[in-house]
Each structure stands twice: as structure tokens, then as C-alpha cells.
């Protein structure tokens, strides 16, 4: 996977976030402050502009620029959290021109660790971690089994989807939704839903 693969992924996220802006906002309206779609759309629009203004020459640089831009442009919880996730991935990949599926699994694991450290959440707290952590785990297992890239990314996407769906019956223990206590039960976490879009764009970038 080369720089082009990663810029295709990031462009795909920007497109998916724009298309699903209202859906993400509706999810956040139920258990938050109705800005998750707007936050991410603003962030990834700025990311698109940043990539166009200074085309990165390695996968790691593309991811680091994405993370830095999200941190700069998104005020909500999701900006620093996703920003950290992308910066961690960029940092793991360094300036290598090509990334193996195993490298990508290591990068996603670093993203999970970064989100965990910054946000203090664990799985089951009804956050984006509930989609991201299973996706990283599924990718790692698929890579260890020698699964081909498209199928490994399919497995990661499926795990993210299942993780996001599993947030519905949970009570939120982190972020704004936690202020609602038991009233947060019965709604999908907006950040888990946007993580599914990110993993779907990753799967799409692999084609096949
Ligand atoms: P805000 O809550 O500041 O309005 P957003 O609406 O953009 O920010 O993002 C909300 C999402 O951020 C939540 O749905 C949840 O997935 C994620 N989130 C919030 N706090 C945390 C945390 N401490 N750790 C991990 N994810 C979190
Ligand atoms: Mg919000
Ligand atoms: Mg907000």
C-alpha cells in the first residue's frame, strides 16, 4: 500500500463523512450536542485542502497531516481523538514509501492505544473505541492468518460494524453522552458510527 492508497482512503473518508453528515448529527442529537457530523465534515474538508496544498510523499506523512489538521480544525472531543489516532498511525509508518498489511495492523493498534490514552476510555464505555479496537484486532488476526488484503480489511470493517451496533444497549461512561446516564441506552454512539465510515473507506481503497 503506497501513498496513493492512503490519500485515496482519506479522500474516501471525506466523501463518506460529507454524505453521512446528517446521519452522524442525528445520532449525536440523541445523546450529545448534534454536532458530530458538522465537526467531522469541517475537519475532513480541511484535510482534503491540506493534502491538495502539500501533497505528501509517504503514507506516514499523509496520515500525520490528516491528524494534525483534525486537531487544528475540530473543537469537539472527536477532533483531538481522531487527530491523535491518525498522528499515531503516521508516526508508526514513518517515511516508508510502502506499507504492508502487518504494518497497517500495527498502525491501527497504535491508533487504538493513542485514543485510549488521551480519552481514558476502555471498550464498553460506548465510544468510538468500541468500533476501532475490534477493527484493529480483526485486522491483526486476519494478517496473522495470511488473509489477502481486501479480505483482511473486510474483516476489520465487519468487526467495526458489529462493535458500533453493540454500543446501542450500552450506557455511556465517557464524553457528553455519559451526562445522560441511563438515558444514553438505546442509541448508537456517533463516534462508533463514524469509525465504521473510516473502516469502510479503508476497505474501498483496497478495491477488489
Ligand atoms: P463533542 O462530544 O465534543 O460534541 P463529537 O460530537 O464530535 O464531540 O464526538 C463525540 C464522540 O466522541 C462520541 O460519540 C464518542 O465516540 C467520542 N468520545 C467522546 N469522549 C471520548 C473519550 N473519552 N474516549 C473515546 N471517545 C470519546
Ligand atoms: Mg457532539
Ligand atoms: Mg460538541
Residue 103 CB–ligand 1 contact under 6 Å: no
Q: pTM value?
A: 0.98
Residue 56 CB–ligand 1 contact under 6 Å: no
* 4 Cβ contact list (under 8 Å, min separation 6): none
**What is the extent of the structural domain holding 195?**
3-207
The tens digit of pLDDT for each residue in 41-91 reads 999 999 999 999 999 999 999 999 999 999 999 989 999 999 999 999 999
C-alpha 82/C-alpha 178 separation (Å) is 19
Nearest bound ligand to the CA of residue 175: 1
Nearest bound ligand to the CA of residue 176: 1
Q: Please, what's the b/e burial string for 1-14 (b: 16 or more CB within 10 A of its CB; e: otherwise)?
A: bebebbbbbbbbbb
| ipTM value greater than 0.95 | yes
The tens digit of pLDDT for each residue in 89-135 reads 999 999 999 999 999 999 999 999 999 999 999 999 999 999 999 99
Is pLDDT at 136 greater than 90 in this prediction?
A: yes
Any idea what the CATH number is for the domain that residue 179 is in? 1.25.40.340
C-alpha 54/C-alpha 56 separation (Å) is 6
Total of domains in the chain: 1
C-alpha 177/C-alpha 62 separation (Å) is 32
If you measure from the C-alpha of residue 126 to the centroid of ligand 3, how many angstroms do you get, rounded to a whole number?
A: 16
Q: In which band, very low, low, confident or very high, does the pLDDT at 19 lie, cut at 50, 70 and 90?
A: very high
- Determine whether 176 is exposed, middle or buried from the number of CB atoms within 10 Å of its CB (0-12, 13-18, 19+): middle
If you measure from the C-alpha of residue 156 to the centroid of ligand 1, how many angstroms do you get, rounded to a whole number?
A: 21
Amino acid at each position: 500500500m503506497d501513498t496513493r492508497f492512503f490519500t485515496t482512503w482519506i479522500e474516501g473518508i471525506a466523501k463518506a463523512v460529507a454524505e453521512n453528515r446528517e446521519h452522524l448529527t442525528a445520532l449525536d442529537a440523541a445523546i450529545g450536542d448534534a454536532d458530530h457530523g458538522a465537526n467531522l465534515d469541517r475537519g475532513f474538508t480541511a484535510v482534503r485542502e491540506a493534502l491538495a496544498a502539500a501533497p505528501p510523499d509517504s503514507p506516514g506523512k499523509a496520515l500525520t497531516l490528516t491528524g494534525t489538521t483534525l486537531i487544528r480544525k475540530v473543537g469537539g472531543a472527536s477532533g483531538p481523538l481522531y487527530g491523535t489516532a491518525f498522528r499515531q498511525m503516521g508516526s508508526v509508518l514513518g517515511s516508508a514509501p510502502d506499507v504492508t498489511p502487518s504494518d497497517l495492523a500495527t498502525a491501527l493498534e497504535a491508533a487504538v492505544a493513542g485514543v485510549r490514552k488521551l480519552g481514558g476510555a476502555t471498550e464498553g464505555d460506548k465510544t468510538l473505541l468500541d468500533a476501532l479496537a475490534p477493527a484493529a484486532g480483526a485486522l491483526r488476526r486476519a494478517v496473522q492468518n495470511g488473509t489477502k488484503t481486501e479480505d483482511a480489511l473486510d474483516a476489520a470493517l465487519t468487526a467495526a460494524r458489529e462493535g458500533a451496533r453493540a454500543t446501542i444497549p450500552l450506557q455511556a461512561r465517557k464524553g457528553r453522552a455519559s451526562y445522560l446516564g441511563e438515558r444514553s441506552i438505546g442509541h448508537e454512539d456517533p463516534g462508533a458510527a463514524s469509525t465504521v465510515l473510516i473502516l469502510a473507506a479503508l476497505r474501498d481503497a483496497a478495491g477488489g
